[in-house]
Structure 1
């Protein structure tokens, strides 16, 4: 239940930005899916009501953005493009439209790794009026006591996920980047699972970390996670086909199920 013209304009703005971020060519991926944002995610994002949404994502394989630019992209007239190319209002207008609908917008971007912009719109559930997302509870959450090496460069995300996994009964060792994780593993291989972010700004990325660790322990299960959508990750060539991926943001039940799946299947990289 949104204005079609405004939605079309928002997608067009995001697609144009993606195009401009790929001056030498690349791949643009646009996708849509039902989504749920839970209470934990809402607690970290004041504009979010826990519940059901429709997620639209625009991803590119372009130049990406450092954090200092990514954090300012919704400001009116802020632009990184040369003078005269545009008004600098594109993303701020998209942001305003999303807020008017009661939705949420999130950007994931890393330098030289591309960008994904996710739009969350309140899901229409079939009545004549807009039904705002309703709270829900995760059910059938199952944990374990295995030992996990958790690698995440974002402090807030790392602390939150560590709390969730500890609450599920798992024993954790945490690292803030790939190099630190590799040093930990070289000293101690007594892990049942590597759970790592895909794109990390310092040192080796999650895929490289998994390969380095599998050179030491070939049978260790690996679960990778990323704010990029699964379609963007797989089709942009950032991951090998068949590798387990948990897309951010995720609910506790989804996290628990994916961890158990990785442990049970003992997934490895080719």
Structure 2
């Protein structure tokens, strides 16, 4: 049964009160017994000393002196009785005061909003407040008519309350951060609440008198945190979608620039042919420009892979002057007539160790930004110089360090960058332009690329006067090994009637490959899927010398197709190609399985040369 009046003080004070009462009773008893013993001893002594006095007379009618001594003993007994009576009365008053304090304390406990539970050091539930009864009705109901030990309650065992009480008995405070309670009283709807609990002792002279357990309902707090987390997740998704939108706009902008250059150059070549103004040299030059622009479009996709951390940079010794010169022709096609561009390149510029494709994209982004900052026209200047920084001169340039560097500068005479946004320009997707105008891949990506080249970017701008971007990249000191222009040797690419199966789901890529192979003398069959390809072998019993297949196909993959064909035709040559973001991973997987791999976009000459070499090696094996 739960003790509803004075559990704590009953436990802490009752033993002392009982001890006092027992002591008082003992004093009365001892005093009374001593008085009787004294009276009888005195009577015995008197009868022995005075032969004329019998023992009975000594007890009944003692001499006067002895009489008063005995009276004194009786008086002492009366005093002791009065003292004991007074002490008992004081104890009753004290008990009444304690009772009053008890009621006051438990009124306070009952009014507390936190569920509170009082437990004896032995683990018996002594008292619970109204809040506890409301929050834990099933436990309160269990303790209503009988004494309950905490070890009898399975909920306490499952949630380490029993262990916490044992530790509290040893004068330790225990905090349990999360306890889930499900009310399952008959006739009531199940309710699930979450609590955190603190169990601590009340001690006197380092001895535990009572243990208090305070429960805090954190269900609403956790629900609020879950809602905040869900809102945070939704906000993050929204930000990602916004970032993707910005990125998509920038990609479209850059691709549109490249497509404009490709389309414009091709149209000029057609116009010259139609007007019969074109000779072989100029036509070849125009077509080379188309190819170069296409390569830069491929570099842009590589930049996207780099942005998503799915492509590793390919560092080589390069001369940045050569990169700028090759870019100038396509850059000029992007600029309006009222914008001029010129270069000031140091002919003795040091070489650097870099990834040419990503550096081209950095330059293109800076030029496009400069163009957009000059709606009324102006001038863009691209310059290069050698910079040798000492410890003293490095401190004058932000982010600089001692060493040899090349400095690439892109300056414009545009509107300039407002001072209040200067510190934000390298943040991902930060832009002051309208969404329709695009921002490339952003200055944040350019900054990241230069950092990966172990360099840095400084910006100097003044409103109305223009902006200067200075890019510093460490010099390598190595010589550039220039590749000679490959002359297409028809013998290296010519086919001799070999049968080739092209498996590609993209129509444009498939038709281009088929056209190039047929033009080179191969007998070509095409299929759109792995299933279609297998049908050529099963239904037509066709046999091919080589299969060129995309890795990613509808239905079965190109790798699955290759495995299937190798089981049937072990001598068949197979080339697998891919342009997906995981191309490096796919390349490793393909080559580990013993198949050849070609990265998209591929050059036709490289494809034809690879096929010719594989068929030649196959022929040499069969003739040995």
> CA 1:118/1:213 → structure 2, altered by over 3 Å: closer, same or farther?
same
TM-score normalised according to structure 2 size: 0.25
Cα separation, partners in 2 of 1:133 and 1:260, compared to 1, 3 Å = farther
Does the 8 Å CA contact 1:125/1:131 hold for their aligned counterparts? no
Query: Structure 2 CA distance, aligned partners of 1:151 and 1:128?
Result: 36
Within a 5 Å distance, the mapping from 1:252-267 to structure 2 comes to: 252-266=604-618
Residue in 1 that maps onto 2:249? 92
In 1: Cα distance, 2:566 partner to 2:323 partner: 54
Q: Does 1:82 align with 2:237?
A: yes
Q: Establish whether residue 131 from structure 1 lines up as the match of residue 326 from structure 2.
A: yes
How far did residue 100 of structure 1 move? Answer: 7.1
Match of residue 192, structure 1, among 531, 536, 545: 545
Determine if the alignment matches structure 1 residue 224 to structure 2 residue 595. no
Task: Normalising by structure 1, report the TM-score.
Answer: 0.54
Hey, which of these two has a bigger chunk of helix by percent?
A: 2
* Higher relative contact order structure (alpha carbons within 8 Å, sequence separation ≥ 6): 1
| Residue in structure 2 matched with residue 54 of structure 1 by the alignment | none
Q: Residues 124 and 130 of structure 1 are in contact (CA less than 8 Å); yes or no, is this contact kept in structure 2?
A: no
Gap change, CA 1:106 and 1:128, over 3 Å in 2: closer
Q: 1:138·1:253 contact (CA, 8 Å) conserved in 2?
A: no
Structure 1 residues 116 and 261: CA distance shift in structure 2, 3 A:
farther
Q: Which has the larger radius of gyration?
A: 2
1:208 paired to 2:403? no
RMSD of aligned Cα (Å): 3.8
1:143 corresponding residue in structure 2: 494
Taking a change above 3 Å as real, the CA distance of residues 92 and 209 of structure 1, as seen in their structure-2 partners, is same
SS in 2 for 1:188: coil
Cα separation, 1, equivalents of 2:326 and 2:561? 44
1:62 is matched with: none
CA contact (8 A) 1:151 1:178 kept: yes
Residues 230 and 245, structure 1, Cα contact 8 Å, conserved in 2: no
- What is the CA distance between 1:132 and its match in structure 2? 2.7
Pair 1:177 & 2:529 matched: yes
By how many angstroms is 1:173 displaced?
1.0
Which runs of no fewer than 5 residues in structure 1 stay unpaired?
A: 1-80, 108-113
Please tell me whether the aligned partners of residues 147 and 172 of structure 1 are also in contact (alpha carbons under 8 angstroms). yes
Question: How far, CA to CA, are the matches of 1:128 and 1:166 in structure 2?
Answer: 36
SS in 2 for 1:132: helix
Output the CA distance in 2 between the equivalents of 1:130 and 1:193.
41
Residues 100 and 151 (structure 1 numbering): CA distance in 2 closer, same or farther, change over 3 Å? closer
